[in-house]
Structure formats: structure tokens, C-alpha cells
């Protein structure tokens, strides 16, 4: 019996061992939304997927739907993220962002706008060194934009920080002035939604 193969791009948010040589992944994909999927024998030294399916990687990926979970049948590197992976501050910021996504996202469902937002965050981290004094603004702004997109926070009065324009240091400098106000709203939203 043949299975339909779903081809898409995805962001590997996290993974954990599954059984002796398999691994279970949480992947936010462009076409399917959040997917839980296993890769067979990926923890073995001879596995071709071992180095492609790394946490935080952005990949092209092929899935088939199994009885209980998706199965990964092939994958390739779409964005290598070499700059981010070599910088402890950037990788920490990306890890924090992915952690927030895992907390907020539930179940499958195509959301290309959110996928584009994730790629915009990655693009900014790849190209830009964020000064220490603006890292909190970066974390707060990225969290706020995701919360607004998912309907957990109110965008009223903050439109100029929520447009699809690319992230920039100028945007972070402007946002720094209202960061504490937005942070209060974020905390209220997370508390009210029990996330």
C-alpha cells in the first residue's frame, strides 16, 4: 500500500529520543502547521538524516502519515543557520523564541503567516548582531507579535510594531521605549490563557 508523501519546509523546534534508535520531533511546517513526527533509526551513526534533523534547523522535509504519528521519510537542509549556530547569544535568543512557540502552538493547521514570521526572526538573527541592551526588546517584540497573531494579545495602539516589515535595530530601539508596557500585556495574556 502506498502512502501520500507530503513535501514542505519546516522549522525543527525540538526533539527527543524515541525507543532505541528513533527520534521524535516537533516541527512547525509551512504547509501543515505543527507536526509531531518520528524518524526511524536516526540516532544510528550510519543514518543519512542524523545531521540534517538537528534541533533549530530549517529543513525541507517529506512526511507520510502513519497510524498514530507522522513519519519523516527524507529531509534536506533549507537554511544552514551557520551564523546563528556559531554565536551563543543568537542561538540562545532563537532557542527562547522556539520554546515560546512550543508553549503556544497546539495541533496541526496551516499558518503561512506565522511561518513567514518565524523566517523573519531567523533572517534578522542571521544578519544582525543584537546589542546586549536590546536583547530584551527583541525577546519581547517577537513574543508579542506571535501572541497577537495567535489571538492571545490585543494589537490596539501597537500597529507600527506589528506590520510585516522586516525586523531592524531601529525598530528595536523604538520598541525599547514601550517594552515594559507591552511586557505587562504579554504577562496578562499568558496568565489569562493559562499558557
Q: pLDDT tens digits, residue range 53-88?
A: 999 999 999 999 988 889 999 999 999 999 999 999
Sequence-separated (6 or more) residues with CB below 8 Å from residue 191:
none
pLDDT number for residue 86? 94
Q: Which of 123, 107, 105 is nearest to 58 (CA)?
A: 123
**Cβ atoms 89, 135 nearer than 8 A:** yes
Q: Which of 44, 145, 126 is nearest to 85 (CA)?
A: 126
Q: Which of 26, 6, 8, 7 is nearest to 16 (CA)?
A: 26
Neighbouring CB atoms inside 10 A of 158's CB total 18
pLDDT number for residue 195? 65
pLDDT number for residue 44? 86
Neighbouring CB atoms inside 10 A of 81's CB total 19
pLDDT number for residue 2? 64
Q: pLDDT tens digits, residue range 162-175?
A: 877 789 999 999 99
What pTM value is reported for the model?
0.92
Q: Which residues in the chain show pLDDT less than 70?
A: 1-2, 195
- Residue 13 to residue 18: CA distance in whole angstroms: 16
pLDDT number for residue 129? 93
Q: Chain-centre distance of CA 143, in angstroms?
A: 11
Amino acid at each position: 500500500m502506498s502512502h501520500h508523501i507530503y513535501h514542505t519546509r519546516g522549522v525543527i523546534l525540538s526533539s527527543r529520543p524515541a525507543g532505541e534508535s528513533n527520534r521524535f520531533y516537533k516541527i512547525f511546517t509551512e504547509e501543515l502547521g505543527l507536526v509531531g513526527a518520528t524518524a526511524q533509526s536516526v540516532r544510528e551513526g550510519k543514518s543519512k538524516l542524523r545531521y540534517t534533523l538537528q534541533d533549530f534547523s530549517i529543513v525541507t522535509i517529506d512526511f507520510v502519515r502513519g497510524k498514530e504519528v507522522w513519519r519523516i521519510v527524507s529531509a534536506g537542509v533549507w537554511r544552514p543557520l551557520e551564523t546563528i549556530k556559531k554565536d551563543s547569544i543568537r542561538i540562545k535568543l532563537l532557542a527562547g523564541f522556539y520554546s515560546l512557540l512550543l508553549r503556544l502552538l497546539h495541533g496541526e493547521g496551516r499558518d503561512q503567516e506565522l511561518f513567514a514570521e518565524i523566517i523573519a526572526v531567523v533572517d534578522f538573527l542571521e544578519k544582525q548582531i543584537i546589542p546586549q541592551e536590546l536583547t530584551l526588546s527583541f525577546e519581547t517584540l517577537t513574543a508579542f507579535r506571535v501572541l497577537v497573531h495567535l489571538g492571545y494579545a490585543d494589537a490596539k495602539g501597537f500597529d507600527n510594531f506589528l506590520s510585516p516589515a522586516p525586523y531592524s535595530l531601529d525598530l528595536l530601539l523604538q520598541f525599547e521605549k514601550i517594552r515594559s508596557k507591552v511586557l505587562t500585556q504579554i504577562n496578562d495574556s499568558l496568565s489569562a490563557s493559562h499558557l
